Amino acid sequence: MIQEATKTQKARKKIIDLFKSNGYDVKEEEVFPCFDNMGEAIFPPYQADIVVRKTFIIELDPLFHGTKIHRNKDKWRDKNIEEQHDTKTVRLDPTDIMKQDPIDIMLEIDSQLKQS
């Protein structure tokens, strides 16, 4: 990494801390090999300062999915997926989704991601 100005280093840390604390995956100096408009590889490849991703699974589980057997199966599946693939699962009821405002849906997703 090229030496950055102190202001840039502080801004980098602030951005990284902000997104990590909100459940995002944050990588620094990630390389993105790409081609120009003539189809030739760009060299050196593009290198991003910060890359922020948030990947998760959404399971749309209707009310009947709430039996003890289903909850136990879901709990273990979620645990295994998170441990083996570093991916969290959010569970939403389709009936609720159809009634909710998009902002409320996003708030529910964020809430579940922060809890797990």
Under 8 Å between Cβ of 40 and 3: no
What residues form DSSP beta bridges with 48?
30
Q: Look at residue 1 and tell me whether its pLDDT is greater than 60.
A: no
Please state the domain extents for the chain. 1-54, 55-116
Q: How confident is the model at residue 21 (pLDDT cuts 50, 70, 90)?
A: confident
pLDDT of 70: 84
CA 41 to chain centre: 29
Q: How confident is the model at residue 92 (pLDDT cuts 50, 70, 90)?
A: very high
The answer to whether the bond into 44 is cis (omega within 30° of 0) is yes
Residues 22-70: pLDDT tens digits?
878 899 999 999 999 999 999 999 999 999 998 999 999 876 666 888 8
Kind of pairing between the strands at 88-92 and 56-60: parallel
Please tell me the pTM assigned to this model.
0.66
